[in-house]
Structure formats: structure tokens, C-alpha cells
Structure 1
């Protein structure tokens, strides 16, 4: 029976039907497919405010701003909590967070057209993409999309720059510098 299940899974993967079938069956794993689900504001927020601090940046190609302008964000914090989200000076008082587990390489290639060398800056094989909605609408501010590698690293894509985020506080990050 296991051989038949593995063969069926392989066939569904080859035909591109596995994500749909797995989603309908309620058995979606990170390596097999992507899952999107709205999560309550407190999921992963630990009933407090999670703070990410900009510790560096990487410009993989064409950007709306130059490296010196991007450096101005170093040490700045983003906050995601139960009752508010704040990115730089922008604040949302009714946040909802949607998280999607994705395989890093296909996602970054498709969504950001990154080269393999650019993708190597982001650790891990999988990412959690966090989308922040404000009042049920897409939030059009920095921090609306976070690419979370693990509990110690996230990336904020904005205007062609990838800002490296580390768990933080409101103090300037000690290693705030452009990434090579």
C-alpha cells in the first residue's frame, strides 16, 4: 500500500495536481506543496509584540533606491502584535497575518526574479511568507511582506532592496551594515 501511495504522490507531483489534491485532502506538507492560511494575529507573536530590527541590506539588482538610502533603515524596527503592526512610522491598528510556507528557490525566482547567487544570501531551504493585512485590506507599507527564514532571520523586500531583519529591540543593531 505504501508503494502505491508513493507512486500516486509521484504521479500527482509530476502532473502538478498534488497541491490541489493535498489541499482538498487536508494533508499538505511544506516540501510537497504550499499552504496559505489566515492565522490569528497572535500566532507566532507570543501574545506580545514581536520586534524585527533592520541589521543590513542587500540590493540584488535594479532598485528604486541606492545603497546609501537603504542604509538609513539600519537599526529601525518593525513591530507585529496582537492589536497593531508598525513599520517605520506607519501603523496599522487592526492587523491580520497570513502565512504561507514556501520552498525558497522557486518562490524567490518566481516572485522576485532573483539569481541563484542572490538567493544564497537568504538562509534555509524553506521560507514562511508573512503577509500583513490592515483592516482586511493589503497593507501597502514596508513590512507588508516578510520572508521569514527562521526565528533569527527574516527579510523585508521593498523597492528592490532586501533588508535583513534580526530579532530585536529599538536599539541600533550592532551589525547594521550592507551585506557583501
Structure 2
């Protein structure tokens, strides 16, 4: 039986889009292949997903596509994430995910929407990781970027704490404190 975890998360997000940022910051849920197949309008996957979730196919398709657009393709997403994967995902699974995405997005398949513009982003992500050499190089660059971003956040937090400390130590006595002193002649 297929894993519907990602689809269930997608349905929840579709109904409560305010949770997108929280899900975006976390790890990808299991069951992404089924979600990608649903987004690609695969009839067998839609049937399985409908049985697993007890939801109509149209709702599942919309939720899956919303999940992909908001969680996988958010600004700043790395190539692995764009393909619905992580650096530890096998090459065959990366290729499978790319295939599902392209079957939905390909410009030759006119679905009457503008999502085919994302095909370039998926293609570029695939080009970053399609061979072992490119994947190794991209993963190393990604690790350096993650470390650089983490160091930048630590520096910012340290500077912000120092700024708050300076403001607190240099702040004059507050109005309320002066008022209480005068009121009770302390």
C-alpha cells in the first residue's frame, strides 16, 4: 500500500495555508512519490490516493499541486527540494521524481494554466544533480551555503543581543518607575 503521509499534509495545507511556513522549514514528509504522481494526474495514483484518503481526486490534485508550489518550489529552495528529495535520495528516485514533475509541467502538455514556467526550474534542478559528479559538487556547495547561512544567523543574533544589552543599560529610568517612587515617596 502506498504511503499517503505527504498527501495528508498537502490536504491539511490546502485547507490551512497559514501553516505553509512551518511545513516549509521542516523536513519533507514521506510518501512524496504518490503526491507527485497525483499532481501529474496519474489515474492509478489518483485512484489509490482517493481510496487511502477518502477524498475526491480533484481535491487531491489541487492539494498536491499546492504542496509542490509552496513547499518544494519556495524561493530559495535547493535543487534537491525542488525535485522533492534530499541529498541522500538515490539517483533513480531523483530521476523518477523529475519525471513525475515534468509530466505535469511539460510545455507541450497544455493544461490551460501557467505552471509550465516551472519546468525550467525543475530542469535546472535536475541538471544540478543528474550525474554523480554534479551531485557531489552541488551537495558540497549546498553544505557550504548552509554553514555560511547558519554562521550569518549566529552573528546577527549575537549583534542583536549586544544591541539590546546596550539599549537596556543606557536607558533612562522609566516613567512608571519614577511615578511609583513619587507616589510612595520611596
Pairwise same-fold verdict (TM > 0.5): no
TM-score by length of 2: 0.20
Which structure is higher in helix share?
2
The higher-RCO structure (CA 8 Å, 6+ apart) is: 1
Which structure is higher in strand share?
1
